[in-house]
């Protein structure tokens, strides 16, 4: 039985926005709302959802790059949310992050060697310069960067190469968990595949656990063991990849999957599509009850009353929909 | 396709170059392309393939350091020979463009109404109430709910999907014969992307408008295009009807591109990336521009550039050894 590495317990992150007019009350934006899940060592959890659903905030709140408002993050039995700033700094050597925009996430005034060694300086301050250099060269080799590039600057690199630098920086402290926040979204398709394969290979080699945040369902399907679907900051469905993709239980997951383009004209023409109407509601003023009900093709009166609890579909598969059994029984229902 | 019978737009030996301090950037290199009335053509390529610059040039929207050569014929008129003023009678009227980011395409300080009316005043000489009624009708046509209220709002008050609908409405105002849409859904969420692509599909079917869709997303292409043009290093490497091109790509680049993308409807362990990097447009490789990354490179590919030649009825490819035998018109099938 693999060990539970990370557990996120009732995590919420709320931002306070200034009032729009003079003397107006400040607004509260609930980006992440009551999210709980566990991560086992060595698994990859894909977090999907549309822009504004809170997926990046969730990733950052877990690492306390954004302070969560409520709830706990427990890392190997220790509550991260209870740590002081200094203790958290030490804990970060095990917890790393890769960002979406590879060029913007690298300091333009630092050369590649300086960028990659920086986390190491904090994690292992006693390391001698020469040893640090060796470690940097080793990770550069691991991510496919030639060691001669060590003195070059970020602007000299293409997007794909820059993302390799970002990955090297993320793995240099030999972390156990990496949050990958849209790591390939800014890259060309042929380069995306290079980076995805690199992440998969590193995961195997280093025994990493990954949280892979992406709006691109096809990339998520390729890399993830389990899938977490977010809508308006809440989990609407969580379960093993196979089940979520082949037999989704939430009408939103169904809609998301059916809207994702498939690069095959014959399949694209023949498949049934759930066309969602409208836009997601504002997280400042979410609807009562189920957040998805304003766009849901099967919404009923009951959906406006209370938040639907996460119900058990299978052992490891949960869904927050009052009528999921009907959705399951008749997928055409959600196709409206 | 009847592209050869009655082309609406023809590009012949079309070349775009930029003079920069680092040297001459060969963005588009002797392109030959014909688009028929009413057809939907997807132009696919990675960044730097020249797909956007080609049509920026057609619309006279290139940066000052650009130089164009060749001919662009739109309904018997040579657009490259026109002054900017003459071009204004064509663009926005007979041909319109939709850009990726609707926020930059719209004037943030102007109400939607006035932006729409402006076009009608300039191109159709409409005034006052008549122009307003026409603007409102077009807003409804592109599926904007509460059009009467929305038309009096500013762009920032609308969601991204709604803004893109407004931009499409603007493009449709003068009932153009051709719409060029440059990555129109790239900035949008998948469920909104599906809505916008449905809108394009309906609009082109109803009005017989030709659509050129510039995109990097082969999934989007599969769902909407009649014909596909694949570009690499400022040249067409392959073109053909969508079903045949996806089922049996003729050029190794097209085949490699298709293999490099994950699919949302399938489980896979890995994707096959294209090795290496996109070409340097200042120093293009000798011979076939794809030869340094191609798995089938022969001596001839390094010395001589392959012309775009017929490989099957309606299909052309620029490759010395395409996967489809021109004489037999059948696939060799070694790549599938």
Residue A60 is predicted with a pLDDT of 96
Residue A51 is predicted with a pLDDT of 86
Taking only the tens place, the pLDDT of each residue in B188-212 is 889 889 989 999 998 898 888 999 9
Contact B268 A188 (CB under 8 A): no
Taking only the tens place, the pLDDT of each residue in B69-108 is 999 999 999 999 999 899 999 998 999 999 988 888 899 9
A306: left (phi over 0), alpha (psi -120 to 50) or beta: beta
Q: In A, residues 295-334, which contact B (CB 8 Å cutoff)?
A: none
Domain boundaries, chain A: 253-336
Residue A213 is predicted with a pLDDT of 97
Q: With cut-offs at 50, 70 and 90, classify the pLDDT of residue B328.
A: low
In order, the DSSP letters of A51-105 are TTSSHHHHHHHHTTSS--SEEEEEETTEEGGGS-HHHHHHHGGGEEEE-S-TTTT
Residue B334 is predicted with a pLDDT of 42
Q: In A, residues 78-117, which contact B (CB 8 Å cutoff)?
A: none
Residue B329 is predicted with a pLDDT of 47
Low-confidence residues in chain A, pLDDT < 50: 336
Counts for chain B of helices (H) and strands (E), in that order: 12, 14
ipTM of the complex: 0.86
Taking only the tens place, the pLDDT of each residue in A240-259 is 999 999 999 999 999 999 99
HEC readout, A126-194: CCCHHHHHHHHHHHHHHCCCCHHHHHCCHHHCCHHHHHHHHHHHHHCCCCCEEEEECCCCCCCHHHHHH
Give the C-alpha separation, A92 to A90, whole Å.
5
Q: Is the model's pLDDT at B2 over the cut of 50?
A: no
Q: In A, residues 212-251, which contact B (CB 8 Å cutoff)?
A: 215, 217-219, 221-222, 241-242, 245
Q: What percent of chain B has pLDDT over 70?
A: 95
- pTM for this predicted structure: 0.90
From chain A, the residues in CB contact with B275 under 8 A are: 194
What sections of B63-111 are H helices per DSSP? 84-88, 102-105
Contact B270 A261 (CB under 8 A): no
Name which of A50, A221, A268 is nearest B223 (Cβ-Cβ).
A268
Q: With cut-offs at 50, 70 and 90, classify the pLDDT of residue B307.
A: very high
* Number of CB atoms found within 10 A of residue A19's CB: 11
Taking all residues of chain B, what is their mean pLDDT, rounded to a whole number? 91
Residue B327 is predicted with a pLDDT of 62
Name which of A158, A189, A257 is nearest B260 (Cβ-Cβ).
A189
C-alpha closest to that of A74 among A4, A177, A179, A170: A4
Residue of A nearest to B46 (CA): A188
Name which of B161, B190, B257 is nearest A259 (Cβ-Cβ).
B190
């Amino acid at each position: 039985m693999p060990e539970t590495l990370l557990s996120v317990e009732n995590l919420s992150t709320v931002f306070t926005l200034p009032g729009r007019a003079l003397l107006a009350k400040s607004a509260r934006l609930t980006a992440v709302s009551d999210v709980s899940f566990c991560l086992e060592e060595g698994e990859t959890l894909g977090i999907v959802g549309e822009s504004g659903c809170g997926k990046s905030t969730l990733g950052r709140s877990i690492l306390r790059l954004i302070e969560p408002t409520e709830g706990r993050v427990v890392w190997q039995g220790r509550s991260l949310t209870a740590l002081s700033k200094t203790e958290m700094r030490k804990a970060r050597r095990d917890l790393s992050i890769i960002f979406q925009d590879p060029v913007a996430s690298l300091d333009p005034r630092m050369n590649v060697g300086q960028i990659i060694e920086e986390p190491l300086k904090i994690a292992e301050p006693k390391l001698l310069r020469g040893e640090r250099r060796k470690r940097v060269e080793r990770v550069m080799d691991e991510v496919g960067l030639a060691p001669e590039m060590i003195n070059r600057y970020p602007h000299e690199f293409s997007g794909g190469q820059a993302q390799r630098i970002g990955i090297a920086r993320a793995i240099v402290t030999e972390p156990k968990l990496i949050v990958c926040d849209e790591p390939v979204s800014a890259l060309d398709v042929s380069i995306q595949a290079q980076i995805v394969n690199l992440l998969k290979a590193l995961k195997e080699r280093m025994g990493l656990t990954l949280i892979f945040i992406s709006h691109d369902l096809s990339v998520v399907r390729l890399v993830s063991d389990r899938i977490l679907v977010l809508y308006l900051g809440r989990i609407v469905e969580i379960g093993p990849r196979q089940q979520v993709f082949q037999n989704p239980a939430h009408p939103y997951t169904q809609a998301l999957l059916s809207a994702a383009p498939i690069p095959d004209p014959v399949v694209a023409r023949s498949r049934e599509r759930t066309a969602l109407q409208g836009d997601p509601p504002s997280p400042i003023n979410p609807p009562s009850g189920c957040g998805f009900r304003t766009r849901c093709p099967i919404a009923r009166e009951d959906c406006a009353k209370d938040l639907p609890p996460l119900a058990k579909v299978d052992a490891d598969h949960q869904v927050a929909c009052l009528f999921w059994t009907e959705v399951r029984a008749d997928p055409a229902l959600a196709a409206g | 396709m009847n592209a050869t019978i009655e082309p609406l737009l023809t590009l012949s030996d079309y070349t775009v170059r930029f003079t920069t301090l680092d040297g001459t950037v060969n963005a588009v290199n002797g392109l030959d392309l014909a688009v028929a009335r009413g057809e939907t053509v997807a132009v696919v390529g990675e960044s730097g393939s020249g797909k956007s610059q080609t049509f920026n040039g057609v619309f006279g929207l290139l940066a000052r350091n650009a130089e164009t050569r060749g001919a662009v014929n739109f309904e018997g008129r040579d657009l490259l020979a026109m002054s900017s003023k003459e071009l204004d009678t064509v663009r926005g009227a007979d041909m319109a463009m939709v850009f990726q980011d609707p926020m930059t395409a719209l004037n943030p300080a102007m109400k939607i109404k006035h932006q729409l009316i402006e076009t009608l005043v300039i191109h159709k000489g409409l005034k006052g109430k008549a122009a307003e009624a026409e603007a409102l009708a077009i807003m409804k046509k592109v599926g904007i709910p509460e059009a009467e209220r929305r038309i009096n709002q500013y762009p920032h008050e609308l969601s991204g999907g709604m803004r893109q609908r407004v931009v499409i409405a603007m493009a449709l105002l003068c009932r153009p014969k051709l719409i060029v849409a440059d990555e129109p859904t790239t900035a949008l969420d998948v469920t909104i992307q599906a809505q916008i692509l449905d809108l394009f599909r309906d609009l082109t079917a109803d009005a017989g408008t030709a659509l050129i869709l510039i995109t990097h997303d082969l999934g989007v292409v599969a769902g909407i295009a009649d014909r596909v043009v694949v570009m690499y290093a400022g040249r067409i490497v392959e073109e053909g009807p969508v079903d045949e091109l996806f089922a049996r790509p003729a050029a190794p680049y097209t085949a490699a591109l298709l293999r490099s993308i994950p699919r949302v409807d399938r489980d896979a362990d890995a994707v096959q990336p294209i090795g290496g990097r996109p070409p340097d447009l200042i120093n293009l490789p000798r011979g076939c521009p794809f030869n340094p990354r191609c798995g089938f490179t022969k001596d001839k590919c390094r010395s001589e550039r392959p012309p775009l030649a017929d490989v099957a009825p309606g299909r052309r490819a620029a490759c010395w050894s395409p996967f489809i035998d021109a004489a037999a018109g059948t696939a060799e099938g070694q790549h599938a």
